[in-house]
Chain A
Amino acid sequence: MSDRIAHLADRVRADPFFLASALDVYARSEGIGDAALAERLGCEVETLARLALCRRPAAERFLADVEAIAERFGIDATELAAVVRRADVLEVLSRGMGASGTLMAARDREES
């Protein structure tokens, strides 16, 4: 894999359009690097950049997208689904965190 592809994969890490964003959130939450992430997914480290440049699975066709990606790169679809789902949950939680870092309490009445 070329350095240019690795550079591009790194660049889109914060872009929710790309699978790179989910892989990044997951790896940071687990405190793991590329080697451990590749092992978890059942692929070579060199495959991660190409994997990262895939479109992140769309909610309305999540399983089909996960299976298409997994099949193409010969990785474990169940692990990939778990990684993306974990990232989804962490991102929802982080959006609900207040400035103090605590989860904001649900409002018990509608705001006027």
Chain B
Amino acid sequence: MGDWPPQAEAMAIWHRLVDGDPVAPSDLAVAYLDPLAGWLTASSPAIDPALCQTAAEDAILALITRPEAYHPERAALDTYLRVAARGDLKNAIDAETRRRSRTAAIDAVELSPAVRNRLHDDDADPARIVELAETVRERVGQAALPAGVSEGLSAGDREVLALMRVRERRTELYARAMGILHLPIDEQRRQVKRAKDRLNKRLERARE
């Protein structure tokens, strides 16, 4: 992992970015990409390093194209980039979780014969598969979910609920949905269990 540049050097690069110096974007990337991607990878050991690299790139590219978004009086540049990269990583994980939960829905839901035939007939078309999976998931959800259960739930809770309803068992998928993959695995298990218990109680209350 590379060293973080001193704040004085950071400020010089940032001022050049703001002034439109054509070399400043390259200097910023060279100075910060290695330490930022290295830090993100080291602080998120359970996350795919490629996702960390992309998140670090996203944070740097965002600063290059909108340098005025950074306010030097509020934080050091490396702090700003760490927060931005962490946010970009969370967004990437959320997107990956949504993609995986769609796949889980395809695998776990028992399809009606009509839908199964259609899926079989069209299974060479990925777009069609995703569309069918959404339809099946939606119908199963509408059929069995008591009214009001999902009202007021956060996006993370809704993902957890969707995973529970397709009987997903892998802690990793729940942890991704909850944005807690950076925590130790025991803590992930504890928090996932608490979330599932809470949502199960909510379901029970709604059914009463």
Contacts and interface: CB of A to CB of B under 8 A. Distances in A.
Contacts of B33: 2, 4-5, 8
A66 B23 CA distance: 10
B26 A51 contact: yes
B60 A55 contact: no
Interface residues of B, number: 20
A18 B30 contact: no
Contact of B23 (A2, A4, A72): A72
A99 B22 CA distance: 34
Nearest to A57: B22
Nearest to B56: A4
Interface in B52-70: 53, 56-57, 60-61, 64-65
A11 B53 CA distance: 12
Interface string A21-49: 00000000000000000000000000000
A4 B22 contact: no
B189 to A, nearest CB: 33
Contacts, number: 54
A87 interface: no
A4 B34 contact: yes
A5 B29 contact: yes
Contacts of B21: 55, 68
Nearest to A17: B65
B61 to A, nearest CB: 7
Interface string B4-25: 0000000000000000111111
Contact of A4 (B26, B37, B64, B65): B37
Given A8-B60, A12-B61, A55 B25 contact: yes
A8 B59 CA distance: 12
Contacts of B53: 4, 7
Given A2-B34, A18-B25, 5 more contacts: A51-B26, A53-B29, A54-B26, A55-B24, A56-B22
Interface of A: 2, 4-5, 7-8, 11-12, 17-19, 50-58, 65, 68-69, 72
Interface of B: 2, 20-26, 29-30, 33-34, 37, 53, 56-57, 60-61, 64-65
8 contacts: A4-B56, A8-B57, A12-B61, A52-B26, A53-B29, A53-B30, A68-B23, A69-B22
